[in-house]
Amino acid sequence: MGIIKSVDRLQPELARRTRIFLEYCREHAIDVCIIETLRRLEVQEAYYAQGRKPLETVNELRKKAGLWAITESENSRTVTNTMKSRHMEGNAVDICPMKNGKPWWNAPDEVWEEIGILAETFGLDWCAGGYGQTWGKGWDNPHFELMANFPGN
Ligand SMILES: [Zn+2]
């Protein structure tokens, strides 16, 4: 139940590239963490309801999915635009910079860019950085997918 963070649950090639990237980050003291890998339907339903349904409904869905309750202010914004997330087949991984041992969600653009551009050199497509993104830069900074036509393929 809850959020799945295991890299093992990703599709094999995405898992392989993610591990190489994480290893590089460890070796170079770049502090990042995995936020989510594979996503179950119940979790996607709860995410999709956020910002669209009343708080009570959202928190019922979240409870069913094994997630913690959110607040009214958190429920004032949407967090996904789809019920067909690439996470649901293990084709996406969310990676966040860390600060003081916690995800650094509001890190400055330069920090996100460092991670995003670096990950792209390992064949992870940083969707927020350009390719495939439809909601504007910064909307979904932690989101990475398998880069097509990666030279290392
Ligand atoms: Zn994602």
Better-scored residue on pLDDT, 113 or 89: 89
Residue ranges with CB less than 5 Å from ion ligand 1? 92, 94, 143
How far, in Å, CA of 16 to CA of 14, rounded? Answer: 5
Question: For residue 47, how many other CB atoms are within 10 A of its CB?
Answer: 23
Distances (CA, A) of 23 to 93, 103, 130: 15, 18, 25
Instruction: Work out the pLDDT band at 1, boundaries 50, 70, 90.
Output: confident
Instruction: Work out the pLDDT band at 74, boundaries 50, 70, 90.
Output: very high
Query: Separation of 100 CA from ligand 1 center, angstroms?
Result: 23
Q: Report the candidate in 86, 88, 2, 6 with the shortest Cα–Cα distance to residue 41.
A: 88
> Mean pLDDT across the chain, nearest whole number?
90
Query: Separation of 151 CA from ligand 1 center, angstroms?
Result: 23
Q: Is the pLDDT of residue 135 over 50?
A: no
How far, in Å, CA of 84 to CA of 61, rounded? Answer: 17
Phi, psi at 115, each rounded to 5°: -70, -45
Q: What is the pLDDT of residue 153?
A: 56
Q: Is the pLDDT of residue 137 over 90?
A: no
Q: Is the pLDDT of residue 138 over 70?
A: no
pLDDT digits 0-9 by tens, 96-129: 999 999 999 889 888 998 999 999 999 999 876 5
Query: Separation of 56 CA from ligand 1 center, angstroms?
Result: 25
- The partner residues of 94 in beta bridges, in order of sequence, read 36, 143
Phi, psi at 19, each rounded to 5°: -65, -40
pLDDT digits 0-9 by tens, 39-72: 999 999 999 999 999 999 999 999 999 999 999 9
Best mean pLDDT range from 48-62, 76-90, 130-144: 48-62
Query: Separation of 91 CA from ligand 1 center, angstroms?
Result: 9
Better-scored residue on pLDDT, 135 or 93: 93
How far, in Å, CA of 120 to CA of 138, rounded? Answer: 16
Q: Which domains does the chain have, with CATH numbers?
A: 6-37+85-147 (3.30.1380.10), 40-80 (no CATH)
